[in-house]
Amino acid sequence: MYQAMILPSGSPVPLPSAPHVDLRLPGLIAADHFPVVALSGVVDGSENDSAAASVTASILKERLEDELRGRHGISYDVGFGGASIRLGQSMPVVWADGHDDKWQVVVDTLWTALKTLADDGPTAEELDHALAVARAELEDPRAIAGWLVFQAARTLNGREPRTRQEQAELERTLDAATIQACAQQMLDTALLLAPDARVHLDDVPDITEDDPPTSDPIDGHLYRRKVLAIAPRDLAVRVSDQGISVTARGVTGRVDWSDTVGVASAPGVRGIIASDGRQLSLIAKCLRDGDEMLAQIDGYTSGLAFDADPDEILA
């Protein structure tokens, strides 16, 4: 396994750099298709940012289990995770499922748990338990695949791979003040997803209906919607040697080829991925001369395509 992980020689390909899409944060979004209440936040930090974010999310998860599973008996799936989103930033995530008539309780409990952790920090018992859980995960041989993914992410972000012993040392340096500061950053940048439009929080704006950012259409070849297509009536795709734009429901998304970092490809479907994470999804059968459009996209993005499941592209 170690031999398979050795990277080829040569200069690394730099990661694309792009500004984040602006959102009003903290914010609440009602997502009917979402089966849980989930909360994410952005944590800035130094070398121990991922360790602090993970331990903070672990403590929140324990608080949610005590309240939602133990006290209220309305949640079964309570968990946490996270990702490194750019150099020096992590995005911890916590979530919990619930009953259809109890989503407000789940949201209130999650938000209160985070606010309390940001205001008061963890108890000594909570911190000791979370650090013990982190140590056990490091020592678990079943976690080796996840550990390798973590090291791959560090490499992509321009950091040196870390041994599990080094990770354990970093975790041992975490104290209550560090976890409290991490929780405060999560609180300031929180994005809550809830599966019920009736859910609300007094001190968090509902941004479900916030207008997505729109752009000017590309000046290029126009592909119009087929008459009988199941697609928005104003669907229009424009393609040129500069980039591509998609207009639907009054909003235009645009990605220049110079800003394209990948193209998810499946028969009759493409997903154009921009450096800031936005994606434009194209279905050939919805457009007149749709196959010609896909051929144009493939010609302009040679070398960026990768095979993908069509359901994932259109999710």
Copy the structure tokens of residue 127: 């911190």
Most confident of 18-32, 43-57, 135-149, 236-250: 236-250
Instruction: Provide the 3-class DSSP secondary structure of residue 137.
Output: helix
Helix (H) and strand (E) counts in the chain: 9, 14
Determine what percent of the chain is predicted with pLDDT higher than 70.
92
CB-based burial of residue 26 (10 Å sphere; 0-12 exposed, 13-18 middle, 19+ buried)?
A: buried
Of 54, 49, 45, 40, residue with least CA distance to 134: 54
Q: 């639907």: which residue's tokens?
A: 248
pTM (predicted TM-score): 0.76
Quick: pLDDT tens for 151-175.
887 787 777 888 888 989 989 899 9
The sign one gets for the Cα dihedral 284, 289, 291, 293 is negative
Q: How confident is the model at residue 195 (pLDDT cuts 50, 70, 90)?
A: very high
Residue 184, pLDDT > 70, answer: yes
Residue 217 near residue 236 (C-beta atoms within 8 A): yes
Would you state the pLDDT for residue 1?
44
User: Rounded to whole angstroms, how far apart are CA atoms 245 and 223?
Assistant: 10
Q: How confident is the model at residue 134 (pLDDT cuts 50, 70, 90)?
A: very high
